[in-house]
Chains A and B, each alone.
Chain A
């Protein structure tokens, strides 16, 4: 068990593309850290550099105080779980899990003991003599984890291990992974493109974009205080709503109306005289059905009217979709997020669509002219060029 330090690590390919750009990350001993980001952001490359499966162009990787840049994967004492499990098809489950121990020339009795123990933890005891081809996806994934656990390594590296499972199984296995990692207490670096997994599993989450680390912090911190537009739009589901706004003195002019900035927000943004174009970010849960909001809470926010296009009733909550008119928000970050989410291909989920999360008891229905309330204390403001969160000075 050891800490992992990435010190200005860069990965440059032969054709000049930089998959990872001077990434510095400290993973504490026993910490469970998640690398998350859209496809192609460099998270898998970073993980493989820690593992030793990719050469490091610049910078250092240290595992437990030791610089491991030149070390072969087998000498780094780390275990890896691959996206498609990479189980040895010609060996049984038992032999798969015993493989690393056999290579390390561990005595046979100890190998048997460790394999049995891991099989008990992972509920694989009755499958030990089967071949991977005869197992289900979830079982194979557990064998892959078992192969990692038996080694008792300095760190676990997991490359999107749940991506190949169907949705329901993924939710179940998420708790399994969490339980196993907590039980073993080993330092874990976990790569995923699913922000839900990132938020639920990690002690800390590191968001990456195009090879650059955007923000590292506890899930709650990333959610409440995203440092830029990209993190704000990436974390949270449904995603944050964005619209253009113009700061002028105490108010910000938005398509929803002129919002009066509450004191704490004004202080954070640093009041600007004269117009200043910003991007306003509002999370769906900052909205509410105006009729459900109590008196004193109302003062904290602002009510406005909206024509509801669509209502999704989820049981515990509802999502209401409505349109606002605006010229559109120009931003590289938003374009990239839309591409990653696939929403740039869907005509209806374009500019101007807002998602609001309402109480499930709300009577608002599709097509209605509803009165909604917006919590002004929960607004985020971003600089359109660069996407920096204006509150994060």
Chain B
């Protein structure tokens, strides 16, 4: 077990290294110095408490959507619907925050809970369709994304219209924000919010669930071998539904942390990019909860540092996105890397 994990780590690190190298080549091609480029990229993400806070805040929804995709994947389901689940989660949390004037503790509990509920409903529908009618979850989760998109498009302007703009909801009152003064002050006014703790809690819980509980055992058994699970009396359909429900709930919290923590309102006409980025995070994190955590932090760093890099070196911020894309390529083709690796080792061994 341990050996396998080390191997996954080595593969992920190799992909990151190759991605950064490719980024360096890109910088050279456009006539920039990659060393100063990378220094400013990482400084942009890490050089002050505020920037570290922003990196963590950017990573927070990624941790949760990555976890959502990874969790479903362990049960053999490809959840492409993290974006829609996240959007609905955000909408639910925002709706609570704007509709009620409850005291803060009640807000802080009810908003994430409502986001969990909304995301779970959005996840469980494709789960039910798959279990009951064998509808491919890739298709149905993408459809659910667009249903979420247009639902927000309709509901926000009609019920939670902003003061100035038609295209976004009203601002959340401070009492309903996941941002909290002591944390904001600690990180010198960054976007960091309580969502980070929710994300860390979720990673720990999912890790425990997968590795130590009978439910995790069942979910993994179904994911690895559906036939053997049926043969052993494990209900495959129940686990598919459950897995999608939990995956949806995780993306739902991601929505709460993003729309009511990082931001303070919800826009219409935008599918959050964190949904699809979650697939990348899950891939780089080898579908393991703590792997997802690390991968999300790294992607968060690249995202939050790219503006500073652009300002300091005139390297376009798109380079940073390209690096992410290249890393994903290398992770996805890790089989190839493995082959090249063994080939190189063999060659070396042959010479010696």
Q: Decide whether A and B are members of one complex.
A: no
